[in-house]
Structure 1
């Protein structure tokens, strides 16, 4: 039975493709996606989307139709999940983080551990920075009993890319159910301010500005600076994250760009983190839409809270419900939105 997905649904972007391909590959269900990225200025598949599709196809020996740049229709029919060591190149500054999003749900149920080296963009617009994936995404997945490690080798910014990261995933029998509605006391706030092929004071000013915003609200943050000259082009950014006594993690980030003062970059990242902390939510908006896949697959009832009910979140819930016999409940409670679902207890 082919699952048919309209790519123009909801936010109408690449998240529909990533979630659909991930669940198709994992569950062994063929999928046909039409109107891919219909609501974007450049509709259809772009290089980072193609890389995710081709990587998932490589891991599952899938039959694929429509995997070409600009295609608005894709058919994906997976077979058995493979594991081992792989090397993939997006070929542009396309986001490594978004490829990781596609592959991790599949690799968690692979027959053996997997290592994938990925070349592309590590810190690019419209995508979680690689440090967010390393210190927030991987931390939240550990609550489900998943062991996911992302090692940064080299940073890559738009437009030249050339960044490199290594994804390592250990398989699980089942994902644990997680119920966390209150973030609780903040145990630590950390961060990384980086600058590549730029003066060191850029990273320092970003870090200082972020720390000052947090200090005014009574939070002490340890924000390290990273100055590198091994990238293909200039670029900078900040990611800050908080860990709580409940075990969860939330983050905030900002990218540098030409004409944007370093102080603005640092303040933006810290303000985005603070906005989530003020609500007491256990997931920030980025992680909330990524978490729904793992909540649905987990072995029992899962419950989280998030600070926003974004269109990305609504869309991802819709896609997950097309593949799995689950029904999410999203309820507004004071400053938070509470997400709840009875996971299917998926295992291979």
Structure 2
């Protein structure tokens, strides 16, 4: 990374989305060079170009320049505008890939966002829309981002590779983010889940539920996993099934895991029983890692801590993911914020899982200047 009077310059396509999101919020110009310049097929991929088009739709006055080979991107962010938007997501990445970024941007727009995203709702690469609905929305409420119209609604479900799903995300705007003290997750009080199936027998989802319960019933009695079988036009264009599990603690923290079947024609097919058991074990691993925020939402929590009012925020998380570690570096570049990190080991005799990390920072006091004055 190099800082110049023209903004920040990075080399390569890694963490492309993070950098564009932070550039958009901070208002700092961004240049990314040598995007796959040594590849046989150099330049931006279709899903990255689709992501840039999405940013252009939710902002006003953004200037984007891409060279002929697609290996250099110059990005001058405009004002976050919001309003009613539609976007066709590239099927190489799920709607979750685009939605993760929108969750970070939506509170800071001029107008409340209502966006319809079309494409793949569940795949093996990105967090699904279900997981983000069950975990990211409650987390955002902790930072004061709540109220009328905060929702992620799955209208149509679409599996990879052909998609056909449709999701509506609505989010109110906020002028400021409140600091948080999320230091005690508390014990797990219940597990909830959703097993879905599209263009296969509804019995598939039931088999997934039974196999997941066979693992989880050994640990906690309060388990409820409902089934969602969409038919006809609501079931997308490809067959598949999957499971999303969420463990809720007594202090209102959410830890999650999910798994879905392999896309038709790609790899070995997965039995619903194997999928259910594997997903249950993934949830137990997430519970072992612990913390007040699960692995998939670490970067969202750290961003809102950074943007909070000029006060101390603390959040206890499990081991930092490689994605989160790079996100911290990018936060330092764009906002000059460094986090204090303290490792917390389980006390002797206590069964509280692995080592945790207490993340502490003082917010930059970010204020949403885009917000309409009502």
TM above 0.5, one fold?
yes
List runs of 5+ in structure 2 lacking aligned partners.
Answer: 263-267, 346-354, 369-374
8 Å contact from structure 2 (residues 104, 300) kept in 1: no
What residue is the counterpart of 2:93 in the other structure? 94
What residue is the counterpart of 1:84 in the other structure? 83
What is the distance in 2 between the residues matched to 1:242 and 1:189? 4
What residue is the counterpart of 1:226 in the other structure? 228
TM-score (norm 2): 0.85
What is the distance in 1 between the residues matched to 2:41 and 2:221? 41
293, 312, 318: which one aligns with 1:307: 318
Query: SS at the partner of 1:238?
Result: strand
TM-score (norm 1): 0.91
What residue is the counterpart of 1:158 in the other structure? 160
Identify if the C-alpha distance between structure 1 residues 280 and 82 changes in structure 2 by more than 3 Å, giving closer, same or farther. Answer: closer
8 Å contact from structure 2 (residues 31, 72) kept in 1: yes
Identify if the C-alpha distance between structure 1 residues 146 and 47 changes in structure 2 by more than 3 Å, giving closer, same or farther. Answer: farther
- 1:6 and 2:16 matched: no
> Which has the larger displacement, 213-222 or 233-242?
213-222
C-alpha displacement at 1:56, in angstroms?
1.2
What residue is the counterpart of 1:62 in the other structure? 62
What residue is the counterpart of 2:278 in the other structure? 268
What residue is the counterpart of 1:173 in the other structure? 175
- 1:248 and 2:253 matched: yes
What is the distance in 2 between the residues matched to 1:333 and 1:236? 38
Q: Deviations over 1:189-218 (max 9, x none)?
A: 211011110111211111112222111122
What is the distance in 1 between the residues matched to 2:192 and 2:208? 14
8 Å contact from structure 2 (residues 255, 290) kept in 1: no
> Which has the larger displacement, 206-215 or 134-143?
206-215
8 Å contact from structure 1 (residues 180, 246) kept in 2: no
Q: Deviations over 1:125-179 (max 9, x none)?
A: 2100111011111111111111342111111121101211011110011111112
Query: SS at the partner of 1:175?
Result: coil
8 Å contact from structure 2 (residues 156, 165) kept in 1: yes
What is the distance in 2 between the residues matched to 1:132 and 1:42? 33
What residue is the counterpart of 1:129 in the other structure? 128
Query: SS at the partner of 2:291?
Result: coil
8 Å contact from structure 2 (residues 289, 319) kept in 1: no
Query: SS at the partner of 1:108?
Result: helix
Query: SS at the partner of 2:313?
Result: strand
- Match runs of 1:28-67 below 5 Å: 28-36=27-35, 44-60=43-59, 61-66=61-66
> Which has the larger displacement, 59-68 or 337-346?
59-68
What residue is the counterpart of 1:327 in the other structure? 338
What is the distance in 2 between the residues matched to 1:39 and 1:259? 35
What residue is the counterpart of 2:295 in the other structure? 285
What residue is the counterpart of 2:362 in the other structure? 342
8 Å contact from structure 1 (residues 6, 36) kept in 2: no
Q: Choose 1 or 2 for highest CA Rg.
A: 2
C-alpha displacement at 1:303, in angstroms?
1.8
What residue is the counterpart of 2:371 in the other structure? none
8 Å contact from structure 1 (residues 47, 94) kept in 2: no
Identify if the C-alpha distance between structure 1 residues 22 and 227 changes in structure 2 by more than 3 Å, giving closer, same or farther. Answer: same
Identify if the C-alpha distance between structure 1 residues 3 and 104 changes in structure 2 by more than 3 Å, giving closer, same or farther. Answer: farther
Identify if the C-alpha distance between structure 1 residues 343 and 49 changes in structure 2 by more than 3 Å, giving closer, same or farther. Answer: same
8 Å contact from structure 2 (residues 65, 74) kept in 1: yes
What residue is the counterpart of 1:213 in the other structure? 215
What is the distance in 2 between the residues matched to 1:202 and 1:93? 25
